[in-house]
Structure 1
């Protein structure tokens, strides 16, 4: 199974920011505020300088990009443990949750599914996943890389959508949405099965995704599909 640092870098490549700037082994990221993953410093590995200097670079980059300074650090890792002494705190106000579980599993054998996967977002896909016409930053993040857009239609209407990306043999699931009036009917599993089959054709052997720890419904779904936790990370911000 992939190491923690490898998984973090795979996930970062699968969810690419609009602006990326390396800082040693760290990665500074910005995408107009769209998602924490694309608007934080991936603080994994050696930044090539002292921690205080690296964090100052994070703050300067964030101000340059017009976003709030933020660092994504592996829970219990050396950066996560050292941040409080640097005047940073866990971002408990993060809208999607400050603590995230990274789940993995081997890619399973193909299963029957009614979902389809296309290389471009089908009609209605953005409306369901981002609520309408995407911003330039949303479009850039969601459509960059080796991406598959899964969808399910009923009566001509799109009722389910998901996004998968293949990076270095890993299928990364970045979006999964089922319309509220169609939930509980197995559509999420159909969408995920379609992405599994699509990724297998591209040579993927492992699945990975990130889900906030408070999202118990999602955790239960992924657990039923064989995903297990590799590690967790947290979002940190400078203390006010």
Structure 2
């Protein structure tokens, strides 16, 4: 049904709009009478017979709204128009990102991809749930859980929100089935040339192509490589069409010496056609606020330009405000967000 509110406020959405992006205004607590309203924008993922709407926001947050609290509602475009940065769609970015962080083992489930790398990162140890799994959702999730259980790994599903073609409906369905959203990250994109045009900084950056993988010093700085790196970790780090590692050496110690053999800053870049992906940009806490992260990214961007790339992407966890501020200053804007949902514990 279509509900009409008082005055010019109208609810112009119905259950037939499930799957569309909508904007609604609701009364915060109808029992307290008129007064406080709030707005919600997201994909309408369900409208059940009990009169409860479920909206999934760009961030992946699921909001449940009683029909009785609605005072206004309308459908809105699938995604806001992008004003700057390279043109990109979700499907293309997802393919590029998956090639930059490849698992050791994978298997198809319809159009989904089950990925495993002995637990090294969720990105390489989760089901990439893009497209149709070829079976009903509950059966697909059972197969996901069994596949990871056979490998003594927790079962994760990676799904995205916030752009045309993303999986808000799937995210809501996972939550309804008790899957827990553990980590969310933004996929940000930007033009490559402005990053390459930055001043290189006073600390020289060494670049090495992935022939035999990153060296020992790079791995000692990499926070995920605690102790000696396992073969599966190296295989993931080396994966990608054209992989480059950058590092900034420690300053010489007073009285001579090389100041240690662990770099003070590192980064990784994967060049794939027109795209350059930046990841593993890390700086020794004692050397932060010196522009080392920018220097690493500039050096990698220049190399990517030489290989013909023109656009850049990266992933940053939503709660990493420091990194988010750095990338915003370099011109990166959020294209969409992705989330890792963990299966319920038996």
Q: Please confirm whether the aligned pair reaches a TM-score higher than 0.5, indicating the same fold.
A: yes
1:162 aligns with 2:279: no
1:176 aligns with 2:278: no
SS of 1:218 mapped into structure 2: helix
Give the Cα–Cα distance (whole angstroms) in 2 for the partners of residues 166 and 201 of structure 1: 10
Give the Cα–Cα distance (whole angstroms) in 2 for the partners of residues 84 and 2 of structure 1: 28
SS of 1:83 mapped into structure 2: helix
1:62 aligns with 2:148: yes
1:52 aligns with 2:138: yes
C-alpha RMSD of matched pairs (Å): 1.6
Alignment of 1:125-164 (within 5 A): 125-129=218-222, 130-145=225-240, 146-153=242-249, 154-155=251-252, 156=258, 157=261, 158-164=263-269
Q: Is the 8 A contact 1:171 1:204 kept in 2?
A: yes
Q: Deviations over 1:214-233 (max 9, x none)?
A: 00000000000000000111
Q: 1:236 to 1:123 in 2, by over 3 A?
A: closer
Bigger Cα displacement from structure 2, 147-156 vs 217-226:
147-156
Greater radius of gyration (CA): 2
Q: Is the 8 A contact 2:185 2:317 kept in 1?
A: yes
SS of 2:124 mapped into structure 1: coil
Cα offset for 1:131?
A: 3.6
Give the Cα–Cα distance (whole angstroms) in 2 for the partners of residues 25 and 195 of structure 1: 33
Q: Deviations over 1:67-89 (max 9, x none)?
A: 10000111362211221233322
Give the Cα–Cα distance (whole angstroms) in 1 for the partners of residues 247 and 310 of structure 2: 22
- Which one of the candidate residues 187, 198, 207 is aligned to 1:102? 187
SS of 1:52 mapped into structure 2: helix
1:117 aligns with 2:212: no
Q: 1:197 to 1:135 in 2, by over 3 A?
A: same
Q: Deviations over 1:94-135 (max 9, x none)?
A: xxxx11111111112533423121114244011110244211
Alignment of 1:158-237 (within 5 A): 158-237=263-342
Taking structure 2 as the reference length, the TM-score comes to: 0.65
Q: Which runs of 5+ in 1 are unaligned?
A: 92-97
Q: Which runs of 5+ in 2 are unaligned?
A: 1-86, 162-166, 253-257
Give the Cα–Cα distance (whole angstroms) in 1 for the partners of residues 226 and 291 of structure 2: 22
Q: Deviations over 1:135-158 (max 9, x none)?
A: 112111111222100111132442
Q: Is the 8 A contact 1:20 1:30 kept in 2?
A: yes
Q: 1:195 to 1:82 in 2, by over 3 A?
A: same
Q: Is the 8 A contact 1:152 1:159 kept in 2?
A: yes
SS of 2:220 mapped into structure 1: helix
Q: Is the 8 A contact 2:127 2:157 kept in 1?
A: yes
Match of 1:89 in 2: 180
Greater helix fraction, Structure 1 or Structure 2 = 1
Give the Cα–Cα distance (whole angstroms) in 1 for the partners of residues 268 and 101 of structure 2: 10
Q: Is the 8 A contact 1:41 1:58 kept in 2?
A: yes
